[in-house]
Amino acid sequence: QVQLVESGGGLVQAGGSLRLSCAVSGLTFSSYDMGWFRQAPGKEREFVAALNWSGASTYYANSVKGRFTISRDNAKNTHYLQMNSLKPEDTAVYYCARKSYRGSDYYKVDGYDYWGQGTQVTVSS
């Protein structure tokens, strides 16, 4: 059974940092590209960041480029989202996800097939 479990969310002041983790089980983690999405109240789920199976290729939404860093540790079956210089508009539930197949779109929700339950990130002004 494939499971993705996020952790590391919380409440932080604007300008602060958080590190999200996504622990993955039930699959050969090192074979899959992975991603992070977020969803704010009343808004659609949106792409945040993704990386390929080795971590050598990374992809970011323009809104987080230069502030967020995605990474992975294949030995620990875990990938991470380091979030710096947080802004109130970063407030959302953050989800990690497994990219469904090699040709699917990194930037789209339907490019991913397994999702975690989400972790809340709240940035106060």
Would you say residue 72 has pLDDT above 80?
Answer: yes
Would you say residue 104 has pLDDT above 90?
Answer: no
- CA gap 14, 95 in Å, rounded: 21
The pLDDT tens digits of the residues spanning 19-44 come to 999 999 998 898 899 999 999 999 99
Q: How much of the chain, in percent, has pLDDT values that exceed 90?
A: 93
Q: How confident is the model at residue 65 (pLDDT cuts 50, 70, 90)?
A: very high
> What is the DSSP secondary structure assignment for residue 55, as one 8-state letter?
S
pLDDT attached to residue 107? 96
Would you say residue 52 has pLDDT above 90?
Answer: yes
Q: What is the residue-averaged pLDDT of the chain?
A: 96
Q: Residue 103: CA atoms inside 13 Å, Cβ hemisphere, count?
A: 0
pLDDT attached to residue 39? 98
